[in-house]
Amino acid sequence: MYYYSENLINPIVNDEPDPSAANVLQEGLGGQFGEMRTMMQYFFQSCNFRGNAIAYRDLIHAVAVEEISHVELITRTISKLLDGSAVAASENGSSHGKRRSNGAGSTALNMAKEQMNPHHYIVGAQAALPVDAAGNPWSGSYVHAHGNLVLDLLDNLVLESTGRLQKCRIYQMSSNKTLRATVSFLIARDEAHEMAFAKALESLGVNWGSILPIPKFDPAEFPEVQKLVDAGINRQQYHFRLDDSQLAKIFNGAAPANDGTELVPMKEPDEAFDVPSSPERIEEFAPGLDAEMQEMVDALTDYKEKTLRKRKTGK
């Protein structure tokens, strides 16, 4: 079973809408080495696990559960970068100005035609899609669950290293703070996951020497990542379980980066962050409630708020 807590694993930072930045970030969500693949690959590997090497299964499962929150974080980041981009463009062009209605003759979504992926406006309502940066739909064929423990761990290390490499490239494509905050967090966490799978292989006889992490870079060129590394999140792994996990049997001691750092197993991250709410988008008919339906929604919201207040205060 799974339980949910309405928190983000990292905050989404405010900046201007940027549809091009949103589009390159799609590679990190629905690309061949993106978060949707890591989530599904580790999930299938842990569900299909055979034999009694439970600590290895628990380690793979721990990362699978964390990847769900990465999918959530990057999806919301892409949506944040898209949200309001059509209104911003039409205000800049000053041919339309502010509007509350999308009446006949309106070209509120005029800018969508010129975007890298107009599906962000036609199919989604200025929101993320399960596709890569070239618009290809995510595919289950990306998922590798070989049934062979060593091969699965090697495959996972390649996946994390490639994901981290691609995110370092995406970081250099935009200085937008919304994009950089999320990408930097994912670069730091990919490093932790490289350590997790490398440590598991180390426990089976591998000596990594000095090849990890992949890629290596000058921290001064990635200041947002360095801040997270200084806070130690690139050496932590969480298991997110209400019952017990054997994660710490493998994820402990010297990091396989062999740089003098230690691995830190944890139940959950030290901090959790608010999930931002998304405004209505009249030009996208989202959520598309008319006055009558809105009244019913308001009544329900009122009811819910009143019930919650009653439960808390007894009044």
Q: List contacts with Mn ion (CB under 5 A).
A: 35, 38, 67, 70
User: Which residue in this structure is represented by tokens 């008319």?
Assistant: 290
Q: What is the rounded radius of gyration, in angstroms, for the C-alpha atoms of the chain?
A: 22
Query: How many Cβ atoms are within 10 Å of 169's Cβ, its own excluded?
Result: 12
Nearer to Mn ion, 40 or 263 (CB): 40
Q: Is residue 7 a contact partner of residue 273, using CB atoms and an 8 Å limit? A: yes
Q: Which residue is nearest to Mn ion (CB)?
A: 70
**Whole-number minimum distance, CB 131 to Mn ion, in Å?**
18
* For Mn ion, the closer CB: 35 or 284: 35
Q: 58 or 67, CB closer to Mn ion?
A: 67
User: Which of 67/132 has CB closer to Mn ion?
Assistant: 67
Cα gap 19→118, rounded to integer Å: 10
Of the pair 115, 184, the CB lying nearest Mn ion is at: 184
Rounded to the nearest whole angstrom, what is the least distance from the CB of residue 175 to Mn ion in the complex?
Answer: 23
Nearest approach in angstroms of CB 184 to Mn ion is 13
We find the least distance from the C-beta atom of residue 301 to Mn ion, in angstroms, to be 34
Distance CA 45, CA 130 (A): 21
Provide, rounded to whole angstroms, the least separation between the CB of residue 160 and Mn ion: 8
Query: 189: which residues sit within 8 A by CB, 6+ positions away?
Result: 66, 70, 233, 234
Q: How far apart are alpha carbons 215 and 166 in whole angstroms?
A: 10
Select from 142, 225, 232, 159 the least CA-distant residue to 197: 159
State in angstroms the smallest separation of the CB of 133 from Mn ion: 17
Q: Please answer whether residues 203 and 250 qualify as being in contact, where contact means their C-beta atoms are separated by less than 8 angstroms.
A: yes
* 43 vs 147: CA distance, rounded Å: 13
Give the nearer residue to Mn ion in terms of CB position, either 41 or 126.
41
